[in-house]
Amino acid sequence: MSIVYLMLGVGLAGTLMALFELKKYYSPKTRYWLNFNRHQAFPSFSGLGSVFMIGITRISRDRQFTIALGLIVLMTLTGRLNWYTKEYWLDILLVGLLILLIVTVDKLSTIGTQLLEQFPSLPMSKGVLNLAVGVSGLTIITVISSTIFLALTELGLMDIIRLCAIILICNLVAYLMSLAWYAATHSDPLGSWRLVTTQTIVLILLYLGLIQLPLNFILIAVAGCMIVIITIVSCLESSYWATIGHNG
């Protein structure tokens, strides 16, 4: 049950942050949620889709990433097959995934800045670019780790889908947490209520998802590590998103 408590803790922390946000100074001029809508309206989802694909392309054509991925697969297989390291193959895999995540974030983190530095007239804010690129990085890591887990463990497809759902939900929670954390003021009470309502829905989904999972040690370890990593990464990424009004 420890993983349930861990995730409940993450969700509750986010909700608490949102509640704190309600007490912040009310400013009719700063319109984070309205900015969010306005920015989404012009570049359109096709624009976001293109940025997502740019992120995927950036990684898939990167030599360092390809080498890191090859080494990780090699290390994991060696660790799994070698009698001496058989017990530690999961640790090896997690370290490998961490390296892969660092490489991915390193490669993707500068895309938005570089694009807007060269093409400031592109009608897309740094926040939107970073969010879409961040999601593409997350997708790559989720796909790779899910594939490895499917191949090397006795976890079924449904378990992996649940695991992915939890990773994405945690990402959303982290985003909402940073929204509450970085936005010093908000436009109207509706913005905050929306935030709190979303947090609550996320929490319920999280709980329902978790209750279905087989709670064995491997899954707890994997989920715990990924949650910590992804929460930190998405917090950093979404800090731009939360301050979207300033990045115009």
Partner 1 sequence: MLLVQDLVATSVRERLNGVSFKIGNGEVLAVLGLNTAGGHLLGQVLAGKSGLRKTGQVQLNSYHYRSQIQKVMAQTGYLANPVQLPEYLSGFEFLDFVGSIYHLSPETRNKRIGELGETLKLGSDLFSIIESTSHDVRQKIAFAVSIIHKPRLLVLDEPTQYLDYVGQGQIKKLINEQPKEGTSVIIITNNLELAATVADRFVVMAEGQIALEGTLEQLVNQTKSRPKTLEGVMSVYFGNV
DSSP letters along 115-156, please? HHHH-TTSS--HHHHHHHHHHHHHHHHHHHHHHHHHHHSS--
Residue with smaller CB distance to partner 1, 42 or 88: 42
Least distance from C-beta 122 to partner 1, angstroms? 6
- Nearest 10 degrees: Cα torsion 211, 19, 168, 138: -150
Residue ranges that bind partner 1, judged by CB under 8 A: 38-39, 42-44, 46-47, 49-51, 53-54, 57-58, 61-62, 111, 114-124, 126, 247-248
Residue with smaller CB distance to partner 1, 70 or 248: 248
Least distance from C-beta 144 to partner 1, angstroms? 19
Residue with smaller CB distance to partner 1, 114 or 216: 114
In angstroms, the Cα distances linking 43 to 21, 37, 39, 113, 137 are: 29, 11, 7, 17, 21
DSSP state for residue 186 in the 8-state scheme: B
> In angstroms, rounded to a whole number, what is the distance separating the alpha carbons of residues 188 and 29?
10
Spell 54-65 as b/e; 16+ CB within 10 A means b. Answer: bbbebbeebeeb
Least distance from C-beta 119 to partner 1, angstroms? 7
Helix (H, G, I), strand (E, B) or coil at 109: coil
Residue 26: strand pairing partners: 186
Least distance from C-beta 62 to partner 1, angstroms? 7
Residue with smaller CB distance to partner 1, 64 or 212: 64
Q: For residue 154, how far is the Cα from the chain centroid?
A: 25
Least distance from C-beta 219 to partner 1, angstroms? 35
Residue with smaller CB distance to partner 1, 60 or 216: 60
Least distance from C-beta 186 to partner 1, angstroms? 20
Residue with smaller CB distance to partner 1, 45 or 193: 45
